[in-house]
């Protein structure tokens, strides 16, 4: 292309010279030559332009191709990144969800009372810290349960609950409330236990106390203490309503008496000695209702949630009075009146117990309301006739009625006790 420019320059110089020389023929030749050179230059320029267009189109096509490849690569990379992100997010969220689900299941198990749950702490993040805190909480709850269960073997669980969860329930200053108190003792056990080994004696005592404690707890009583083979229990607020405690104590006494037959059968089997006779063993139960001091009573170093007062002394004395009347249970007048719609009772006598100056009418629980046999009803009626005659010092009428009571129920302890007393009074009449 530079050569064409140079030739055109030379032609232009010649053309100027020819014009100066007015050589028009030469001018025409020079113009023709210039046209030819111009045409050549145009062809070369067109060729270059065409080549440039081709190069441009090729570059554009290459750029477009590379751009498309870049878009495809970007799309694939984005998709891969999204997939990796989703997988990672699923892994992370799955781990969080599993941890949260474990916490939820553990919480539900704890709510249901299953304290053997434990959550694996796999991370140190907030979820891991929460799991560790949950495990510590379960350990503490297990320890609290162990303490409650341990105390529950020495103190009634409801008292333990009050001492731990509701301190105001067992206020140290105590309160005066109407309560029903029960004392139970195993008659004839001392002679039977003389030949027992210490190990055998412990087994028998545990079985006896377990058997007799069950009716008390079933009827919502509080076992206050075990005194050798004796049991002291009570009913009343805040554990039992005022309208129910005498009734429940009487029902517990009946169920305890019903258990004595099973106990007589089980103790020889427990000792593995078939020759051991338990027929002499029987229950003596005393029940009394009255005002008592209730609360945590004791010293600065040891306290006991218990009941104190004349009603406790009366129940204990009534338990011992069974020996005099040949009965299994004796209850105070207030107890009989409060439980009259639930049990069948009969008046036994009027006594003055040790520690009191006024007389107390005492009753025997014969059975549940409406469940007495005709023989029991007849014996009760005859006994009450004999008791009325005895109080009126009509000795012959009292003897007839009491003998009739014995005919209806042979071996009736109160009838025999009163007959023996009347025989002495008949021989030596009182003033």
Q: Is the dihedral of CA 152, 155, 156, 157 positive or negative?
A: negative
Min mean pLDDT across 16-25, 283-292, 340-349, 407-416 is at: 16-25
Written as six digits, the tokens of 39 are 């045409």
Min mean pLDDT across 137-151, 154-168, 272-286 is at: 154-168
Find the helix or strand (DSSP H, E) in which 305 lies: strand 303-308
Q: pLDDT value at position 348?
A: 95
The owner of tokens 């008592």 is 292
Segment of 123-132, 148-157, 242-251 carrying the highest mean pLDDT: 242-251
Strands 329-332 and 282-298, by their bridges, are parallel
Q: pLDDT value at position 387?
A: 94
Q: Where are the domains of the chain?
A: 1-103, 115-150, 176-371, 373-431
**C-alpha to C-alpha distance for 364 and 246, rounded to whole angstroms:** 14
Residue 399 has pLDDT above 70, yes or no: yes
Residue 172 has pLDDT above 60, yes or no: no
- Non-local CB neighbours of 399 within 8 Å, separated by 6+ positions: 386, 419, 422
Buried b (16+ CB within 10 A) or exposed e, 205-243: bebbbebbbebbeebbbbbbeeeebebbbbbbeebbeee
Q: Largest Cα–Cα distance of the chain, in whole Å?
A: 199
Find the helix or strand (DSSP H, E) in which 24 lies: helix 24-111
Q: pLDDT value at position 374?
A: 94
Q: pLDDT value at position 49?
A: 76
Question: Average of pLDDT values for 127-146?
Answer: 73
Question: Average of pLDDT values for 306-321?
Answer: 93
Question: Average of pLDDT values for 392-411?
Answer: 93
| pLDDT interval class at 185 (50, 70, 90) | very high
Q: pLDDT value at position 327?
A: 95
Q: pLDDT value at position 23?
A: 65
Question: Would you say 368 and 254 are in contact if contact means Cβ atoms under 8 Å apart?
Answer: yes
Question: Average of pLDDT values for 83-98?
Answer: 68
**pTM of the predicted structure, to 2 decimals:** 0.68
| pLDDT interval class at 424 (50, 70, 90) | confident
Q: pLDDT value at position 111?
A: 67
**Burial of residue 136 (number of CB atoms within 10 Å: 0-12, 13-18, 19+):** exposed
| pLDDT interval class at 256 (50, 70, 90) | very high
Distance of CA 174 to the CA centre of its chain: 29
Question: Would you say 182 and 287 are in contact if contact means Cβ atoms under 8 Å apart?
Answer: yes
**181 backbone dihedrals φ, ψ, rounded to 5°:** -115, 140
**C-alpha to C-alpha distance for 263 and 276, rounded to whole angstroms:** 13
Q: pLDDT value at position 341?
A: 86
Residue 257 has pLDDT above 90, yes or no: yes
Question: Average of pLDDT values for 86-103?
Answer: 66
**C-alpha to C-alpha distance for 159 and 142, rounded to whole angstroms:** 19
Written as six digits, the tokens of 367 are 């059975």
Per-residue pLDDT of 210-232, as tens digits, reads 999 999 999 999 999 999 889 99
Domain 176-371 superfamily per CATH? Nucleotide cyclase, GGDEF domain (3.30.70.1230)
| pLDDT interval class at 356 (50, 70, 90) | confident
Long-range pairs, 204-209, Cβ under 8 A, ≥24: 204/267, 204/270, 204/271, 205/229, 207/263, 207/266, 207/267, 207/270, 208/263, 208/267
Question: Average of pLDDT values for 422-426?
Answer: 87
């Amino acid at each position: 292309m530079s050569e064409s420019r140079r030739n055109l320059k030379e032609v232009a110089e010649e053309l100027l010279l020819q014009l100066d020389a007015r050589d028009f023929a030469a001018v025409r030749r020079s113009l023709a030559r210039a046209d030819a050179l111009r045409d050549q230059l145009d062809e070369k320029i067109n060729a270059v332009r065409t080549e440039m267009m081709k190069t441009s189109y090729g570059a554009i096509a290459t750029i477009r191709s590379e751009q498309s490849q870049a878009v495809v690569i970007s799309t694939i990379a984005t998709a891969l990144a999204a997939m990796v992100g989703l997988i990672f997010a699923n892994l992370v969220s799955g781990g969080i969800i599993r941890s949260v689900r474990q916490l939820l299941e553990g919480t539900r198990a704890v709510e249901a009372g299953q304290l053997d749950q434990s959550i694996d702490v796999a991370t140190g993040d907030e979820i891991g810290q929460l799991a560790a805190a949950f495990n510590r909480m379960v350990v503490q709850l297990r320890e609290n349960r162990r303490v409650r269960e341990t105390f529950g073997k020495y103190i009634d669980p409801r008292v333990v609950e009050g001492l731990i969860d509701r301190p105001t329930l067992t206020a140290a200053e105590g309160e005066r409330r109407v309560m029903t108190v029960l004392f139970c003792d195993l008659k004839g056990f001392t002679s039977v236990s003389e030949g027992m080994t210490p190990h055998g004696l412990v087994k028998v005592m545990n079985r006896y106390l377990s058997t007799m404690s069950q009716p008390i707890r079933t009827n919502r009583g509080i076992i206050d203490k075990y005194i050798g083979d004796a049991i002291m229990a009570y009913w009343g607020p805040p554990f039992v309503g005022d309208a129910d405690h005498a009734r429940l104590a009487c029902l517990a006494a009946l169920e305890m008496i019903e258990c004595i037959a099973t106990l007589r059968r089980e103790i020889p089997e427990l000792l593995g000695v078939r020759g051991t006779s338990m027929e002499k063993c029987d229950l003596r139960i005393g029940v009394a209702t009255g005002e008592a001091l209730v609360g945590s009573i004791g010293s600065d170093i040891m306290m006991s949630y218990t009941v104190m007062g004349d009603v406790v002394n009366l129940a204990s004395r009534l338990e011992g009075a069974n020996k005099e009347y040949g009965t299994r249970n004796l209850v105070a007048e207030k107890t009989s009146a409060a439980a009259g719609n639930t049990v069948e009772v009969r008046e036994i006598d009027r006594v003055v117990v040790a520690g009191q100056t006024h007389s107390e009418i005492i009753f025997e629980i014969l059975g549940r309301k409406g469940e007495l046999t005709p023989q029991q009803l007849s014996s009760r009626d005859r006994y009450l006739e004999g008791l009325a005659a005895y109080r009126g010092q009509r000795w012959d009428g009292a003897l007839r009625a009491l003998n009739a009571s014995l005919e209806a129920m042979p071996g009736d302890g109160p009838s025999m006790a009163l007959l023996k007393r009347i025989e002495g009074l008949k021989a030596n009449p009182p003033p």
